[in-house]
C-alpha cells in the first residue's frame, strides 16, 4: 500500500535545507524517525562539506532512511525555494496517495528558504512545518566577542548586506472569525462544565454569532440546536480545534489553543 511501510506504519517524509547547520537537520530527522529525507543544498565549497557531514550522520542514525538530494539549488531565492518545496510536497503526496506524514523543517536554511518553506507548508493540507531551537551553541558565550566583534564593537554574523529583496505576497486565509470567537466562549465555559447547547447558544447569540429561536419553555428549539451542532461543534471537530471526551464534554486541543492564542484578541478588536 502506498504511504505505508511493510511494518504497517505510515511513511514519515522530512524536507530540510542544508547550509551551515548539522544538528538542526539530523536531530529532528531522528526524532521523527523519518523514512524519506529530502535535503536541499547549494552544493559548492564549504556548503558541500556541511551536506556531506549531514548525510554521513543520517546514515549512521537512520540507516534505512532514503535520502533524496536536491543539489545546486539557489537556497537564497525565495521564489525558487517555494517552487521546489511545493513540488516536493506534491510529488510525495502523489507517491504516497496522501497517506504519509510530511514534515518541513523551516529552521536550518537561510531566511529565504525558511519563509518560503513555511508558506508552502501552510498552503498544502496535512503538511507539518516545524522549527528547531538551539540547545547548545558551537561558539560559547565567552567567545562571542572574539568571533562577532571587530575593533571592540559588535558586528554579528553579517558584516555587510546586499540591497533588500522584497518578497512576492500570497494571501493566506485566516480562520473563520465566528468559529474563533465561539471557540473562545467555549474555552471559558469548559472549566465551569457548562458546554451544553442550551447554555452555549444564548452566549453565542449575545455576541451576534447566531440567531436564536426558543420553545415555549424559553430554551433554544431543535432547529437552533441543530444549527449550533452543524455550524460550530462539527466544524471545531473537523478543524481539530476540539476533541470530544464524552457525549456532552468537549476539550480544546493544542491546535485549538494555538488558534485562540494567535487570533482571538485580534478578532475581539
Half-sphere exposure of 56 (CA within 13 A, CB side): 7
Sign of the Cα torsion 146, 148, 150, 154 reads: negative
Topology match between the domains 12-154 and 177-268: no
> Cβ distance 73 to 84 under 8 Å?
yes
| pTM > 0.85 | no
CATH architecture of 177-268: Orthogonal Bundle (1.10)
Q: Determine the Cα–Cα distance for residues 156 and 144; give it in Å rounded to an integer.
A: 9
CATH architecture of 12-154: 3-Layer(aba) Sandwich (3.40)
Rounded to 10 degrees, the C-alpha dihedral 109/115/121/123 comes to -160
Question: What's the Cα-to-Cα distance from 239 to each of 37, 63, 183, 247, 250, rounded to whole Å?
Answer: 28, 36, 11, 19, 14
Q: What is the pLDDT of residue 169?
A: 73
In the chain, domain spans: 12-154, 177-268
Collect the ranges in the chain with pLDDT lower than 70: 1-8, 269
Q: What is the pLDDT of residue 269?
A: 57
For every residue of 12-69, DSSP letters joined together read EEEEEEESS-SHHHHHHHHHTT-SEEEEEE--STHHHHHHHHHHHHHHHH-TT-EEEE
Q: What is the pLDDT of residue 220?
A: 84
Q: What is the pLDDT of residue 226?
A: 93
Q: What is the pLDDT of residue 246?
A: 87
Phi, psi of 241, deg, nearest 5: -85, -25
> Cβ distance 27 to 132 under 8 Å?
yes
Question: What's the Cα-to-Cα distance from 15 to each of 57, 111, 167, rounded to whole Å?
Answer: 16, 16, 22
Q: What is the pLDDT of residue 8?
A: 56
User: In the structure grid, which three cell numbers stand for residue 155, read together?
Assistant: 558586528
Amino acid at each position: 500500500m502506498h504511504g505505508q511501510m511493510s511494518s504497517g506504519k505510515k511513511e514519515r517524509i522530512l524536507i530540510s535545507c542544508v547550509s551551515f547547520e548539522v544538528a538542526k537537520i539530523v536531530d529532528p530527522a531522528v526524532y521523527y524517525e523519518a523514512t524519506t529525507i529530502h535535503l536541499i543544498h547549494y552544493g559548492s565549497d564549504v556548503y558541500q562539506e556541511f551536506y556531506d557531514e549531514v548525510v554521513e550522520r543520517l546514515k549512521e542514525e537512520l540507516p534505512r532512511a532514503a535520502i533524496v538530494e536536491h543539489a545546486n539549488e539557489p537556497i537564497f531565492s525565495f521564489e525558487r525555494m517555494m517552487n521546489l518545496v511545493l513540488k516536493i510536497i506534491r510529488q510525495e503526496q502523489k507517491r504516497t496517495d496522501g497517506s504519509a506524514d510530511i514534515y518541513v523543517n523551516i529552521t536550518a536554511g537561510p531566511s529565504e528558504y525558511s519563509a518560503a518553506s513555511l508558506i508552502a507548508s501552510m498552503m498544502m493540507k496535512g503538511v507539518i512545518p516545524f522549527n528547531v531551537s538551539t540547545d547548545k551553541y558551537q561558539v560559547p558565550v565567552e567567545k562571542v566577542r572574539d568571533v562577532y566583534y571587530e575593533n571592540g564593537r559588535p558586528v554579528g554574523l553579517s558584516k555587510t548586506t546586499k540591497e533588500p529583496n522584497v518578497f512576492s505576497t500570497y494571501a493566506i486565509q485566516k480562520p473563520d472569525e465566528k468559529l474563533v470567537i465561539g471557540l473562545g466562549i467555549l474555552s471559558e465555559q469548559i472549566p465551569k462544565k457548562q458546554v451544553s447547547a442550551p447554555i452555549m447558544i444564548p452566549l453565542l447569540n449575545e455576541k451576534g454569532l447566531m440567531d436564536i429561536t426558543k420553545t415555549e419553555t424559553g430554551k433554544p428549539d431543535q432547529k437552533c440546536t441543530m444549527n449550533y451542532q452543524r455550524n460550530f461543534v462539527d466544524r471545531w471537530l473537523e478543524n481539530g480545534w476540539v476533541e470530544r471526551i464524552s457525549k456532552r464534554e468537549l476539550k480544546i486541543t493544542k491546535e485549538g489553543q494555538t488558534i485562540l492564542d494567535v487570533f482571538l484578541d485580534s478578532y475581539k478588536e
